[in-house]
Structure 1
Amino acid sequence: MDLKSKSAKELEKLLSDVKKALADAQARERREAIKAAEKAAAEYGFSLSELTDGKNAVGKTKKAGRAKTVAAPKYANPADASQTWTGKGRQPNWYRAEIEQGTSAESMEI
């Protein structure tokens, strides 16, 4: 097929057709893979859902999404108490400026 002789509209139509055919082929292959897996599981006396319920391919339980915990603030800006820092991660500019001016970290602790 000579793509160089096709117009933009023809190429877009072709692209659309290829994307649809690809999606159909992937869905068909997925169905075939599931059927093959069900057949293999049945040979051992299991259903596929019994083998995969809540587990990954090696049989380990999937980890649930963990909520991130927020650390409590440890330091507060003496000039503006609403600015706080946990003491973890990058130092805020106000903290660095206070340290450079000679303020001790202990005096900024909450």
Structure 2
Amino acid sequence: MPTTINLDALSLAELKDLQKDVAKAITSFEDRKRKEALSVLEEKAREMGFSLNDLTKGGKKSALPPKYRNPENPDQTWSGRGRKPLWFSQAMAAGRDVAEFEI
């Protein structure tokens, strides 16, 4: 049963302390629920002959294949998505054609 608190009777410092306590309680509650859900999912995956990691591929997104390669350093590649690598940006600023870098 929730405790009734007269918020009007509290000082600003007491209200801020209460706010911190509530934020901690919410975080703790969410963590517990997340762990419970993970446990249920792991058990269900085990029942079906998998690990949760098998089903989620480790939680990682699959990497996109490279679309561009730095001819001066073939180890440097870029998929064409996300932030442009420095070598690509510098080459474009120098007036080079993007087609030079396509794989």
Structure 1 residue ranges, 4+ long, deviating more than 6 angstroms after superposition: none
Which whole-Å CA distance do the structure 2 matches of 1:67 and 1:51 have between them?
29
Matched, 1:40 2:41: no
Q: Kindly tell me the number of residue pairs found equivalent between the two proteins.
A: 72
- Superposition TM-score, scaled by structure 2 size: 0.56
| More helix by percentage | 2
Q: Which has the larger radius of gyration?
A: 1
Aligned twin of 1:18: 22
Query: Unaligned regions of 5+ residues in structure 2, if any?
Result: 65-78, 97-103
What's the CA shift for 1:55? 4.9
Residue 5 (str. 1) matches residue 26 (str. 2): no
Give a deviation string over 1:47-94, Cα, whole Å, max 9, x none.
Answer: 1111123456xxx625598551211433xxxxxxxxxxx8xxxxxxxx
Question: Share of identical aligned residues, percent?
Answer: 36
Q: Say if 1:55 and 1:62, in contact at 8 Å, map to a contact too.
A: no
Greater relative contact order: 1 or 2 (C-alpha under 8 angstroms, separation 6 or more)? Answer: 2
Q: 3-state DSSP class of the match of 1:53?
A: helix
1:28 aligns with 32
Instruction: Verify the 8 A CA contact 1:38 1:47 in the aligned structure 2.
Output: yes
- Structure 1: where are the runs of 5+ without partners? 75-85, 87-110
What is the one-letter code of the residue matched to 1:14?
L
Aligned counterparts of 1:35 and 1:27: Cα–Cα separation in 2: 12
What RMSD over aligned residues (CA atoms) do the two structures have, in Å?
A: 2.7
Aligned counterpart for 2:94 among listed residues 73, 84, 87: 73
2:100 equivalent in structure 1: none
User: Which residue number corresponds to residue 81 of structure 1?
Assistant: none
